[in-house]
Structure 1
Amino acid sequence: MKKTMIVAGLCLAVCAGRAQSLEAFRNKLRSPDAKYGSRVEVVEHGAAASAVRSMQASSTGGKIRGYRVRIFFDNSQSARAQAQQTTARFKEIYPSIPVYMDYDDPYFKVTVGNCVTYEEAVILCGKIKDSFELAFPIRVEIPLSVFAQSSQTKGEEER
């Protein structure tokens, strides 16, 4: 199933990480989903391309409002151990998706992914729902540096 998505202003936010190239992001979207075979066709307007290039050139250490998927939260006595087990299990099943374990008194929380749009978070949630049935999307502030780190890691893997 082929889905078409017009990406203009959203590319600015996704590709704002200075080291992540627009082409790498396009390639990621073009790749068919392993489970459903769906893919995204990107249509970029000229103004968006120049805005992305200028953001990539700047070296801001800012954050964007995005989404992650929460797969665990608890405040019981065994919450730390359970959060660590959930993190390890997620890394084993989905090694290419970033996972974050946090402690926000009194809760241990495990979230995954770096999604720019709510729709992207819902898709990620659907992919992992079989393994993590309590998964749900949440809104978070995502440092732009995580996008730069992920593209640098991909570049190293391709070498």
Structure 2
Amino acid sequence: MCAVRKKKPRNMYDVIEINSKNASTYYNRGNTKIYLEDYRGAIEDYSKAIEINPEYASAYNNRGNAKRDLKDYQGAIEDYSKAIEIDPENAFAYCDRGSAKRELNDYNGAIEDCSRAIEIDPEYTLAYCNRGMAKRKIGDFEGANQDMNMYNYLHDA
């Protein structure tokens, strides 16, 4: 009896060639491209993952991160908002959207989003840091100090 030999993947490109309908494969390659600072390539891969699975909240969130890294803050906010629409308990998406809003000087929007992230995950250190920076920008120095103290407390724990 003859056995059919399957091509053994050597890298992510081979995996995609073998199974081009798997959204997770594109998502994982997008994560690798983010790590390599190939943000445009990451956006392409996350977009392909979303095309295959339009309900892939993490792909929207990470595509938003790539857009944010390219300083496309409005595009990032749109992706974070879609991730939140799909998964309303996604603390990362709220915090990331807050960070992008802060970059656009929407400090109150940033505070609101980071506060929601903290409601979802009270130990999410980055949300305290981002909210503290936004509070400082609107002159709420006491609130900013409280958030930064909480960030340091949780970060050191």
TM-score normalised by the chain length of structure 2: 0.21
Q: Which has the higher strand share?
A: 1
**Structure with bigger RCO (C-alpha 8 Å, 6+ apart):** 1
Whose Rg is larger?
2
Q: Which has the higher helix share?
A: 2
TM-score normalised by the chain length of structure 1: 0.21
